Amino acid sequence: MKKEIRDQRFTGERALFKSEGLDIYNCIFDDGESPLKESRDVDLTGCMMEWKYPFWYCENINFRSGAIFDTGRAGIWYTKNISVEDTLIEAPKSFRRSTGITLKNVSMPNASETLWSCSGVVMENVSARGDYFAMNVRDVRADNFSLSGNYCFDGSENVEIRNSKLLSKDSFWNSRNVTVYNSLISGEYLAWNAENVTFIDCTIESLQGLCYVDNLVLRNCRLINTTLAFEYSSVDADIVGKVDGVFNPKSGTIRADRIGELIIERDKVDPSKTKIVCRGE
């Protein structure tokens, strides 16, 4: 049976260091680094983390209905199996090299450099703002996720995103095995140098996006205000409506109602390797 701790304020470094089997309610962790470092099997409800490094090297943590302040930066590193629900995380760099992360109804207004080199991530009803979100992350499932911030999911692998909105320049660079469903994506240079990237029922706006991609698939997608797309990409694209510009695709098939500008430079690519179908002409 777990020990209960209620309505306390903790200060000083490592206030509850290496704790096991705790239920913590409505407590404040203030003015002291690493309060729960190396702890395991701890549930926290209604708590506020107001200082740095609250959950390092932890295991089996449930954090509900609380807040991690801006001063609680670099909060969750090297941790296994952590669930965060109905919580505001103000701090940047909040997850690093951690595994088994579940985020539900979480707001991260300063999420720069968050979720780096993490794996086994599930996000539901999560909003985030900040650059370099989820660099080198693996095995991610996200539903109703919104992000405003550039360079997200760089180097990511095995990512599935649904019903989301990403306002992000240079998203999904160097990524592998990414599928995005029923989402809105706006940002320049989308998914460069990536492999096995699929967009289904999406609306995309991108200057010079979807270039240098190996095995790019688009199904029932709209490409609005999108120019110089598909350079050196192998592509199987089914586009609803018009795409403003296509530039030097490497191979595959591109279907659209209309293409505003089609540039094929024979000294750069072999035109016979790409089939262009304009349904409106």
Q: 90 and 68 in contact (C-beta within 8 Å)?
A: yes
pLDDT value at residue 279: 84
pLDDT value at residue 263: 94
CA torsion sign, 252 to 257 to 263 to 266?
positive
Q: How many CB atoms lie within 10 A of CB 246?
A: 27
CA dist 184 and 12 (Å) reads: 45
Q: What is the largest CA-CA distance in the chain?
A: 73
Q: Which two tokens stand for residue 8?
A: 């306390």
Q: Which two tokens stand for residue 106?
A: 């979480």
Mean pLDDT of 196-218: 97
User: Residue 281 pLDDT > 60, yes or no?
Assistant: no
pLDDT tens digits, one per residue of 7-61: 999 999 999 999 999 999 999 999 999 999 999 999 999 999 999 999 999 999 9
Give the three-class secondary structure for 72: helix
Element at 199 (helix H, strand E): strand 195-200
User: Residue 182 pLDDT > 90, yes or no?
Assistant: yes
Q: How far is CA 18 from the centre of its chain?
A: 31
Q: What is the pTM of this model?
A: 0.95
pLDDT value at residue 1: 76
Q: Which two tokens stand for residue 110?
A: 């300063």
Element at 212 (helix H, strand E): none
Q: Which two tokens stand for residue 67?
A: 């807040």
